[in-house]
């Protein structure tokens, strides 16, 4: 089990200190968030060489929105994704995490594409826009060997995609090896009828990451999510990439995260 964690969750004042602490606590990877810009590439590479902690995901930090009616905002989002794919290539990460609609959903002051029903609905236009722009971005990812990693979120953070099936549909429509997806057990706990069944119904070739958080969006073991069936399903599929923590931490992070890493590895071995 390769455990990873979001950079902003990792204890430490510097990037190198974060990497060092993760190595001591039993982690194997890190998802680059606040340092996800090209000017941090050398620092990230140096920290990896010093500790063995491998960046597995980058984040699009350049702003914009893929479904904004203003072309300059869409162009900014595309550029941001491409820069993150470039960074992923340089530091050996799989690709850039991409919840495509969250920016519009969580920034309600943004204008939306008008609804042109009955000719075409707003929802149809927005979905077609995501697919078209993902195709453009994926073309660059193919050249670098990195991928868009589509993240389905719950309905309160993103209108679509919300389920693993939605993520698979996007990958199939984009039709590129540089468009893949991930599973987030917190969001799945809201949107999927059965977490393990939803995992088993997903082609493992599309799965490039798994996020872990308990039902209360804190560290595993603090809520009621049963992780064992999920881990069992992932093992059955042959999933071999990272399991990344994305949640709140109670208490001393150095203690809580080390204990959580041991707890998750125990569950995974027993699954």
Per-residue pLDDT of 137-189, as tens digits, reads 999 999 999 999 999 999 999 999 999 999 999 999 999 999 999 999 999 99
The predicted structure's pLDDT at residue 43? 98
Give every residue of the chain whose pLDDT is below 50, as ranges. Answer: none
**Residue 57 · residue 32 · CB < 8 Å:** yes
Name the token pair of 182: 């991930």
Could you tell me which of 69, 181, 169 has the C-alpha nearest to residue 116?
A: 69
Q: How many helices (H) and strands (E) does the chain have?
A: 10, 8
For 180, phi then psi, to 5°, come to -130, -170
Express each pLDDT in 186-212 by its tens digit: 999 999 999 999 999 999 999 999 999
Give the distance from CA 269 to its chain's centroid: 24
Alpha-carbon dihedral sign for residues 167, 169, 174, 175: positive
Q: Tokens 């603090």 identify what position?
A: 222
pTM over 0.85: yes
The predicted structure's pLDDT at residue 40? 98
Domains annotated on the chain, with CATH: 2-270 (3.20.20.150)
Q: Mean pLDDT score of the chain, rounded to an integer?
A: 97
Output the 3-class SS for 50-107. HHCCEEEEEECCCCCCCCCCCHHHHHHHHHHHHHHHHHHHHHCCCEEEECCCHHHHHC
The predicted structure's pLDDT at residue 212? 98
Percent of all residues in the chain with a pLDDT value above 90, rounded to a whole number: 100
Name the token pair of 70: 């203003």
In the chain, helix, strand, coil percent, each to 5? Answer: 50, 15, 35
């Amino acid at each position: 089990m390769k455990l990873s964690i979001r950079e902003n969750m990792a204890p430490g004042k510097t990037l190198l200190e974060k990497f060092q602490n993760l190595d001591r606590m039993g982690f194997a990877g890190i998802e680059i968030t606040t340092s996800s810009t090209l000017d941090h590439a050398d620092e990230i590479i140096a920290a990896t060489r010093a500790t063995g902690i491998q960046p597995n995901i980058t984040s699009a930090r350049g702003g914009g929105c893929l479904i904004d009616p203003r072309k300059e905002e869409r162009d900014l989002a595309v550029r941001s994704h491409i820069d993150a794919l470039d960074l992923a290539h340089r530091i050996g990460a799989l690709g850039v995490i991409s919840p495509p609609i969250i920016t519009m959903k969580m920034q309600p002051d943004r204008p939306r594409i008008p609804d042109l029903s009955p000719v075409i609905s707003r929802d149809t236009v927005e979905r077609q826009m995501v697919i078209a722009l993902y195709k453009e971005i994926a073309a660059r990812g193919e050249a670098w060997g990195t991928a868009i990693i589509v993240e389905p979120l719950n309905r309160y953070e993103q209108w679509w995609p919300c389920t693993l099936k939605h993520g698979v549909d996007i990958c199939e429509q984009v039709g590129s090896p540089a468009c893949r997806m991930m599973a987030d057990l917190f969001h799945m706990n809201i949107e999927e009828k059965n977490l393990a069944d939803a995992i088993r119904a997903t082609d493992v070739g599309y799965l490039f990451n798994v996020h872990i958080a308990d039902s209360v969006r804190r560290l595993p073991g603090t809520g009621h999510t049963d992780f064992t069936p999920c881990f069992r399903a992932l093992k059955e599929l042959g999933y071999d990439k990272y399991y990344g923590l994305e949640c709140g931490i109670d208490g001393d992070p150095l203690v809580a995260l080390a204990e959580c890493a041991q707890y998750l590895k125990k569950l995974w071995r027993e699954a």
